[in-house]
Structure formats: C-alpha cells, structure tokens
Chains A and B, each alone.
Chain A
C-alpha cells in the first residue's frame, strides 16, 4: 500500500514538473529562433541587449495571452520582416537560398553519373 502511495506521489510530481518545464521551454524555444536585430549574430535568447530583453518579456506576454508559436512568429514578422526569424520562409526573396543546395546536389549528381557512365563505356 505504501509503495502504491509513493508511486502515485512520484508520478504526480513528475507530471507537475514536466508540464511546467514544457511551458517554460516554449518561450525559450521561440526566443532561440529569433535574431537579435541590435547584436547581429546572436539570438534573442543569447543576447542581453535592451531590445532582446524586451522581446523576451513580450514573447512571454503573448504566450500568456494564448498565442501559439506560429502566431508569435507571424506577429514579429509583420513588425520586423523575415530577417528576425532564423528559419526564413519560402518566398521570392529566399527561393535562391532554398533551391541552391538542391541545384548543387542535382548538378553534382549529374557529373558523377556521367563519369560513371563514361567509365563503364571504356571498360
């Protein structure tokens, strides 16, 4: 009986702890994905500038207001443009960025394939 009680307490505590952890992590997760516009090269999470500190408070406020991650990103994108996100969306300004690796992959693949075919022909 005692073991059962202990088990229930432990499970309860773990649940309680993990739910709190989750809520805290979302704010951190979001600020890690935001670029600090004052101290470029740092995320808002890493930065201690006035701008970044305000943004951290704002993200927490928005989360309390019930906005989800995407809504917060959209909200900030609307204010500061794509540049604030570390993960830029696919649009006419960024298609080169997104397609370049694929292009290089296809191009490189074609070269390798040609070499292989040529080698086989020689054999």
Chain B
C-alpha cells in the first residue's frame, strides 16, 4: 500500500507544478497595482510653461468644471499618437485640458506644440518629475480626469478610441 501511494503522490505533485508554471507562462509579468480612484488631487507649486510664473495647483483646478490633466513630453512617442484625441477634446466646451510638461527641453516642447497644435488651456512645467510623483503617476503619457478636486479617472498610457469615448461619456 505504501509503495503505491508514493508514485501517485509524486505524479500529482508534478502535474500540479507543471500546470501552475505552464499557466504562469501566459501571464503578463508586469504588475500594475489597483488604482485608487476618487482621491483628492495633490497640492503643489509649479512654473507656467510660457511665462515661467509660479502658479499654485488651487489656482488651476477651480470650481466644479471637468479638467483633464495630461502629462506629456516632446520626446515621448505615444504622446504624439494621443495628440489628436486631445485636440478633439479641446473643442469641447465643458472640459479644460491642463498640460504637465514632463522633464522636457523648452524649445523642443514648444516646437512640438507648433507642429502638432496646442490643445492645452494651460501648461505647467515639471522639470525634475517630482510633480508627477505627487499625482502618483508612472511616466508619460498619463491623464487624469478631475472634477471637484477629485480624480475620477486615471489613464496610464496614451489615449485611444475607447478611452476617448469613455471620457466623452463621463463628461456629458
């Protein structure tokens, strides 16, 4: 009896191990933690992109309007892809698009806007990337939909058709 149990046990153990690892092969190994939504926006101070005046975050996000904060840089290729969606959104009346220029060169960033047009109502610079961390952002591009000083949606990566219509729906 004892001699029979052992091989069976061994086979079961091996098959379970094989199954677990085989399944694991297909899993993505990039882990993105759960995103806490409905959190308050951070307060920070930044320099306005063109005038270099110091502005406070509570001078930017006022009242109950919708704001879309978009973190971008001229060196970021996906930012070019999402640009057309930002241009489309900028035509909407009830949403203001705020740009956060992330670790960028001023001249390059300006050329980027001249070439592709400027969808932003206001841009501030984030030269060392610390403001992005205040937002809990990972990098560029990243967007935050804000209403009443609350983040209602966080988008990691470039905007696409699906996210674009989702934003449109949320801001109806």
Contact = CB atoms under 8 A, between A and B. Distances in A.
Chain A contact surface mostly: helix
Contacts of A71: none
A51 interface: yes
A54 interface: yes
A61 B128 CA distance: 12
Interface string B101-133: 011000000000000000000000000111011
A38 interface: yes
Contact of A58 (B103, B133, B139): B133
A81 B130 contact: no
Please tell me the size bucket of the interface on B: 10 to 19
Contact of B130 (A40, A54, A80, A82): A54
A64 interface: no
B124 to A, nearest CB: 16
Nearest to A52: B129
B129 A38 contact: no
B139 A80 contact: no
A79 B136 contact: yes
Contacts of A58: 130, 133
A39 B130 CA distance: 18
Contact of B33 (A55, A61, A81): A81
B31 A79 contact: no
Interface of B: 29-31, 33-34, 36, 102-103, 128-130, 132-136, 138-139
Given A54-B132, A58-B133, 7 more contacts: A37-B138, A40-B30, A51-B138, A51-B139, A79-B133, A79-B136, A83-B31
Interface of A: 37-38, 40, 50-51, 53-55, 57-58, 61, 79-83
